[in-house]
Amino acid sequence: KEAGKNRYQLFDPVSDRRAQSHREFLLRLQQALEAREFVLHYQPKVDLVDGRLLGVEALIRWNCPGRGLVPPGEFLPQLQSSSLELAVGEWVIEEALSQAQRWREQGLDLRVSVNVSAAHLQQPDFHDKLAEALQRHPGQPPRQFELEVLETAQIEDMDAAVAILKRCGDLGVRFALDDFGTGYSSLTYLRKLPVQTLKIDQSFVRGMLGNADDMGIVEGVIRMARAFRMDVVAEGVETLEHGRILLQLGCRLMQGYGIGRPMPADALAGWLLNWQLEAPWLSLQALPSR
Ligand code: C2E
Ligand code: MG
Ligand code: MG
Ligand code: MG
């Protein structure tokens, strides 16, 4: 019936079963949201030159009873282009702001970042809902709240996206372009977008030691960020060698398993204490930069 009148389709048991299980999974995720089974873990971003904790990135997990922590790659794709995707996105913003406010009450002034899909960003009421969420959390200044924009390649109407970003930017929040270098990002728009930060995708950081192309991309993104007077954060920093090379290339802001894994909110203070005591990473700053 959905395809219109005067049409009929042969019953396809395979795709029917697939559609059915997709609907069931969405229903399960809806329940998960209502039962507060989603949690945010937080991964540190540091400035390797002065050792400072720059902020944390909120990453969603599904604490599924009987299954444990399910990573976002196993349920976010199924949410795509459902209304639940937007509801989960709103929950993430609310929860991250609440946590930021709690940290602040404990004396931790942190910039908290959340991931926002292009689809969510392009919702007509995105700006108003963000403004309301910020108002509900007056303890966290908008300057210390950042949106990492994902899947910029999926933005169809770039001019409209620029306008939304500008309006949201007027609220005081910061923007970063996530996984930079993987999709198609027009240089013309990069200049127009009110974006403060580029995040180098972890695949390039992982590949740069053995692959000249990846190294070239890493260098290129760092140079581009400098040209546009943006910050640049390297993702996927796993080893001291990664850190050393990135510092030499002029990238001092880093995030990765080698620095800190995503962790529950209450583990952050303990991590910070250890990090400040960890000599090997901080010794890198003594190396001359190129
Ligand atoms: P992302 O935003 O690029 O986040 C970085 C991902 O890389 C995270 O995976 C993080 O755990 C992982 N990672 C960090 N450091 C390292 C490292 O040194 N080595 C390796 N191998 N991996 C590292 P995670 O948490 O599984 O998230 C995957 C993606 O799911 C995120 O990529 C983001 O695109 C999306 N995502 C996560 N949380 C949310 C959310 O709340 N909303 C939306 N829309 N997307 C989210
Ligand atoms: Mg709240
Ligand atoms: Mg991200
Ligand atoms: Mg990324």
- Judged against a pLDDT cut of 50, whether residue 183 lies above it is answered with yes
Lowest-pLDDT range of 1-5, 146-150, 179-183: 1-5
Average pLDDT on 213-237 reads 95
Average pLDDT on 137-162 reads 88
Look at ligand 1, atom 35, and give the residue with the nearest C-alpha: 72
* Backbone φ, ψ for residue 205 (5° rounding): -65, -40
Task: Report how far Cα 36 is from the mean position of its chain's Cα atoms.
Answer: 21
Average pLDDT on 257-280 reads 91
Q: How far is the CA of 88 from the centre of ligand 1 (A)?
A: 16
Q: Tell the burial category of 234 from Cβ atoms under 10 Å away from its Cβ (0-12, 13-18, 19+).
A: buried
pLDDT (0 to 100) of residue 154: 73
pLDDT (0 to 100) of residue 3: 53
Beta carbon of 80 within 6 Å of any ligand 1 atom: no
Task: Report how far Cα 265 is from the mean position of its chain's Cα atoms.
Answer: 16
pLDDT (0 to 100) of residue 10: 66
Helix axes 126-136, 83-105, angle to 10 degrees: 30
Beta carbon of 51 within 6 Å of any ligand 1 atom: no
pLDDT tens-place string over residues 81-128: 889 999 999 999 999 999 999 999 999 999 999 999 988 998 989 999
pLDDT (0 to 100) of residue 287: 55
Is the Cβ–Cβ distance between 254 and 276 less than 8 Å? no
Look at ligand 1, atom 45, and give the residue with the nearest C-alpha: 115
Q: How far is the CA of 288 from the centre of ligand 4 (A)?
A: 28
Q: Tell the burial category of 27 from Cβ atoms under 10 Å away from its Cβ (0-12, 13-18, 19+).
A: exposed
Average pLDDT on 45-56 reads 93
Whole-angstrom distance, CA of residue 118 vs CA of residue 267: 30
pTM: 0.92
Q: How far is the CA of 108 from the centre of ligand 1 (A)?
A: 23
Single out the residue of 262, 196, 206, 268 nearest to residue 234, CA to CA: 206
The protein residues having their C-beta less than 5 angstroms from ligand 2 (an ion) are 98
Whole-angstrom distance, CA of residue 145 vs CA of residue 11: 50
Beta carbon of 86 within 6 Å of any ligand 1 atom: no
- Judged against a pLDDT cut of 50, whether residue 290 lies above it is answered with no
Average pLDDT on 45-64 reads 95
Provide the ipTM: 0.97
Whole-angstrom distance, CA of residue 139 vs CA of residue 255: 26
More reliable by pLDDT, 255 or 180 = 255
pLDDT (0 to 100) of residue 285: 63
Whole-angstrom distance, CA of residue 271 vs CA of residue 259: 10
Beta carbon of 72 within 6 Å of any ligand 1 atom: yes
pLDDT (0 to 100) of residue 50: 86
Beta carbon of 85 within 6 Å of any ligand 1 atom: no
